[in-house]
Amino acid sequence: MGKDVIIACDFDSAEKTFAFLDKFTGRKPFVKIGMELYYAEGPSIVREIKKRGHKIFLDLKLHDIPNTVKKSMAVLSRLDVDMTNLHAAGTGRMMEAAIEGLTRPDGTRPILIAVTQLTSTDEETMKRDLLINEPIGEVVMHYASVAKGAGLDGVVCSPLEAGAVHDRCGKDFVTVTPGVRFADGDIGDQKRVMTPAEAKRIGSDYIVVGRPITAAEDPVAAYERCCAEFIG
Ligand code: C5P
């Protein structure tokens, strides 16, 4: 699986997104489109960014009954995204249905990864609100194993969990890790962060980087710095 830096395009309009992407006149970065931008602009934003030559991770985190997820994944697959995701909490059957929906007639499909437990959920909240009483690390690893069993390609996880996920699910099981900051940068609201170089050392396959690039004075230079540290 190729290592890459994915820029989180957390903008609320196409106008702001294109003003940002227009700065990249050389290499076209892999970009993540999340709920905010997708709900603001709809599928046309995906088609337009794709037309500009970017790879796309469509981060919509599907979670519904298997049949609904299967049919929705078929629609996303036709948008020709490169990567998309769902919640592992939807169960193995939902994840298998997602793969079925995502697979195109020619057998190809976007990379499909699972969210295990959101990093905004801590162990105490998980116990209190979800009645899950196992240690959170075990829960994350179990969800990763169920995702792998269902045929998914990998998980979104903290860079701190990437090594353990590879140990449990194999080195080819993809880890996509947000929470990346430069050593001399602002942490913002992220709690547990790693530099791109550390994420590389620990074995992340893709890093998702938002504000350290989108809010930088020179986003192209920040992106290039990320690539140099992470990909080499
Ligand atoms: O700006 P920043 O680098 O913190 O952006 C990180 C991106 O990764 C955001 O789009 C955020 O929603 C996403 N993300 C995250 N932590 C997770 C899952 C996704 O920060 N556990």
Domain spans in the chain, listed from the N-terminal domain onward: 4-230
Q: What is the pLDDT of residues 45-82, one digit of tens each?
A: 999 999 999 999 999 999 999 999 999 999 999 999 99
How many whole angstroms separate alpha carbon 229 and alpha carbon 232? 6
The residue contributing the CA closest to ligand 1 atom 14 is: 178
Burial class of residue 79, CB neighbours in 10 A (0-12, 13-18, 19+): middle
pLDDT of residue 186: 85
Class of domain 4-230: alpha beta
pLDDT over 90 (residue 232): no
- One of 3, 61, 70, 200 is an active-site residue; which one? 61
- What pTM was computed for the model? 0.96
Burial class of residue 204, CB neighbours in 10 A (0-12, 13-18, 19+): buried
pLDDT of residue 188: 81
Cα 100 to ligand 1 centroid, rounded to whole Å:
28
Annotated catalytic residue 61: yes
In the predicted model, what is the mean pLDDT of residues 163-179?
Answer: 96
pLDDT over 80 (residue 227): yes
Whether the Cβ atoms of residue 62 and residue 98 lie closer than 8 Å to each other: yes
209 lines ligand 1 (CB under 6 A): yes
156 lines ligand 1 (CB under 6 A): yes
**Can you tell me which atom of ligand 1 is nearest the CA of 190?**
4
10 lines ligand 1 (CB under 6 A): yes
Cα 155 to ligand 1 centroid, rounded to whole Å:
14
Mean pLDDT of the chain: 95
